[in-house]
Amino acid sequence: MHDDYVTMKNGQIWEIRCKGCGTPIKTMLADDQPSETEKINGRTIVRERLYLAALSNYKEVLITFEDGSKHVTPMCADCAVKMQTDKKLVQSVYEADVKQWKSEGQKINKRDEKRKAAKVDRIASVIGV
Ligand SMILES: [Zn+2]
Using one digit for the tens of pLDDT, what is the confidence trace for 61-84?
999 999 999 999 999 999 999 999
Ligand 1 centre and the CA of 60: distance in Å? 12
pLDDT of residue 129: 61
The secondary structure element, H or E, covering residue 88 is helix 87-103
For residues 47 and 105, what is the distance between their CA atoms, to the nearest angstrom?
Answer: 31
- DSSP letter for 119, please: E
Ligand 1 centre and the CA of 73: distance in Å? 12
Note whether 8 and 28 are within 8 A (CB): no
Q: What percent of the chain has pLDDT over 90?
A: 78
pLDDT of residue 35: 76
pLDDT of residue 54: 96
Q: Domain ranges for the chain, please list them.
A: 6-124
Ligand 1 centre and the CA of 15: distance in Å? 14
Q: Is the pTM of this model over 0.95?
A: no
pLDDT of residue 101: 93
Ligand 1 centre and the CA of 95: distance in Å? 16
For residue 5, which of 96, 107, 73 has the smallest C-alpha distance? 96
Q: Which stretches in the chain have pLDDT values below 50?
A: none
